Amino acid sequence: MGLKSIFREGMKERRRKKSLRSEKNEFKSKERNFAEQLTALGRKAWDAKIDLSAFADLKTTLADAQKNLDELLAQAEQLQKQKQNAEAEKKRENDRLDGAIKKEEEKKRGIDGRLGEQKNILQSGERETQRATGRLAAIAKERAQLQNKSTSPATMEAEKGEIAKGLTLLAAEEAELQAAHRAHEEAGKPVASAVAALLEESAQAQKRLEELRDELKKMTGDMDKRIAALHAELAKNGEKSKEAEGRQKLNFKALGEKLTAAQGVQPDIAKEMAAVLNARTEMEGVQALIGGLERQKDKGQVSAYKKMMLIIIGGIVLIAAITVVLFLLLSPKKKATPLEGFLNREGTAVQNLGELATQMQQGLGGVKTASEKIQGGKIEVAAESVLRSILPRVSGWEMQNPYYNKGAYDALEIASLQADYASSGNAAVRFQVTDAGTASALLAPLKMVFSLNIRVDDADVMQQTSTVNGIPVVERIDKRDKEATIGIIYKDRYLIELKTKAEKGLDLLKEFAAKLELSKLQQ
């Protein structure tokens, strides 16, 4: 079969496959809608309390399930009420204890204020006593000096008279100071008693404060445990209710199926029955289209399609590799360029590229020989199960339309797997892994470019190398169409590409790339 025939027949198969995938997706949608309509029919029949005596076993099952749901609902309401009561009690106790603490703190501040005043009075009296005691000691000393001078033979009579007057004055001052001292002592006794009483009162207030704070802490801890336990019970009840609702939903669907299969339609469920029959008709119509597309399958077109896809994939790899090889081999050699530095560090780079160019000139057989030399033996391209095993699983994203293709053309044998991912927010990610197989030698120059760490950032594109889980990747953002791309070359053989136009595309693709199970790819 010539190249023109391969592409003509291959495109026919491609169109058939595309239509088949589209109709299968439509069938899944119709199938889901049919199931929902059956469930709605069964629910309506149950709620309307129509006669279900013909389905006694299912009626019993539905009644038991409804009873279980009602019990769980009643339990949930009781638990919720207990939780609300516990939260209200905690608030009341918190307000009560917080108010008591504030009241006790205010009381203690008053006690401590009066205690400070009494202490100041007591300290003032003590200072007066200390001053009087010092003066009395000084008077005793002055008296002794005057008395010694009075008894001295050298003292004149006139001078002795002055000394006598001085002694009289000192005696009067001493008596006055002693009387004042006794008065201070008497006045200080009630103050000292008051200070002692206030100290005791302050200590009691402090003790009461500590007791109230401990009570508040214990109450808060106990109530938090009680509320947490009720919350856990509510969560467990919610899980049981969800499971019971799921089982009940299946029971409603089973009832809907039985009602649909039965003869006659009761008026209470006529509207729901019509919706079921309409949904079934739509589903059967899509199923018929799928059957027609399946019957259109032609072995010759299938074979041509595999060859066409292999030529396209191999051609992309070949063109990319040739471009890089020519760039590396034919670029001007200027001193101190990053390229020359790279070639100087990798002494065999030019030699290897030259060998690859020679093998490419020998045709696809030469590429296969080089590939097997790099991989260390005969190459068998990865099966669909192997390529599927690395598909990332990302929370909140649903995988759609996985498609595996494998084929051979001349000496080249290549396989690929493509899958789309969709999120609830209508964002999309396209994943493709290609096992270059016997064309894997063409990836060598691409891997060399990875190691150059060249960064481009201009008006059209931003492209740079980085790593994800220790594996080198190329990051790219097309600034015109806002498409982000991450490319990976793994084990010198596998090309992995992730693309999206979602917001913060590179961050999203890195999350996907981090979940790739690349260790499952064979050497």
Question: Mind listing the pLDDT tens digit for each residue in 276-315?
Answer: 999 999 999 999 999 999 999 988 888 888 777 766 665 5
Q: What pLDDT was estimated at residue 212?
A: 94
* Most confident region among 11-20, 48-57, 77-86, 192-201 by mean pLDDT: 77-86
Looking at 247, 269, 289, which one is the last position of a domain? 247
- Prediction pTM value: 0.51
Query: What average pLDDT does the segment 487-514 reach?
Result: 90
Mean pLDDT (the chain) is: 83
Is the model's pLDDT at 354 over the cut of 50?
no
Cα–Cα distance measured from residue 410 to residue 419, given in angstroms and rounded to the nearest whole number: 27
Looking at 213, 247, 281, which one is the last position of a domain? 247
Is the model's pLDDT at 10 over the cut of 50?
yes
Q: Are residues 342 and 230 in the same domain?
A: no
Residue 117's CATH number: 1.10.287.2610
Looking at 229, 247, 265, which one is the last position of a domain? 247
Report the 10 Å Cβ neighbour count for 55: 17
Q: Are residues 315 and 215 in the same domain?
A: no
Cα–Cα distance measured from residue 440 to residue 372, given in angstroms and rounded to the nearest whole number: 8
Q: Are residues 433 and 342 in the same domain?
A: yes
- Judged by DSSP in three states, 376 sits in coil
Q: Are residues 461 and 333 in the same domain?
A: yes
- Point out the least confidently predicted range of 20-24, 244-248, 381-385, 441-445: 441-445
Per-residue tokens: 403: 């498609």
Q: What pLDDT was estimated at residue 201?
A: 92
Q: Is residue 374 part of a domain?
A: yes
Q: What pLDDT was estimated at residue 329?
A: 40
Is the model's pLDDT at 437 over the cut of 60?
yes
- Point out the least confidently predicted range of 25-34, 330-339, 417-426, 473-482: 330-339
Cα–Cα distance measured from residue 445 to residue 359, given in angstroms and rounded to the nearest whole number: 14
Domain count, the chain: 2
Sheet holding 471-478, edge to edge: 397-409, 412-423, 428-435, 494-500, 483-490, 471-478, 461-468, 456-457
Q: Are residues 209 and 325 in the same domain?
A: no
Per-residue tokens: 445: 């120059």
Q: Are residues 330 and 448 in the same domain?
A: yes
Which structural domain, as residue segments, surrounds residue 164?
Answer: 62-247
Cβ atoms of residues 472 and 517 within 8 Å: no
Cα–Cα distance measured from residue 101 to residue 120, given in angstroms and rounded to the nearest whole number: 28
Is the model's pLDDT at 269 over the cut of 70?
yes
DSSP state of 383: P
With CA atoms as reference, report the closest residue to 352 among 324, 332, 380: 324
% of the chain at pLDDT higher than 90: 43
CA 65 to centroid of chain Cα atoms: 36
Task: Kindly give the pairing relationship between strand 471-478 and strand 494-500.
Answer: unpaired
Q: What pLDDT was estimated at residue 19?
A: 92
Q: What pLDDT was estimated at residue 403?
A: 85
Per-residue tokens: 222: 């106990």
Per-residue tokens: 240: 């049981």
Q: Is residue 260 part of a domain?
A: no
Cα–Cα distance measured from residue 29 to residue 495, given in angstroms and rounded to the nearest whole number: 33
Q: Are residues 218 and 321 in the same domain?
A: no
Report the 10 Å Cβ neighbour count for 417: 21
- For 185, list phi and psi in degrees, rounded to 5: -65, -45
Q: Are residues 243 and 306 in the same domain?
A: no
Is the model's pLDDT at 215 over the cut of 90?
yes
Pseudo-torsion of CA 264, 269, 271, 274, nearest 10°? -40
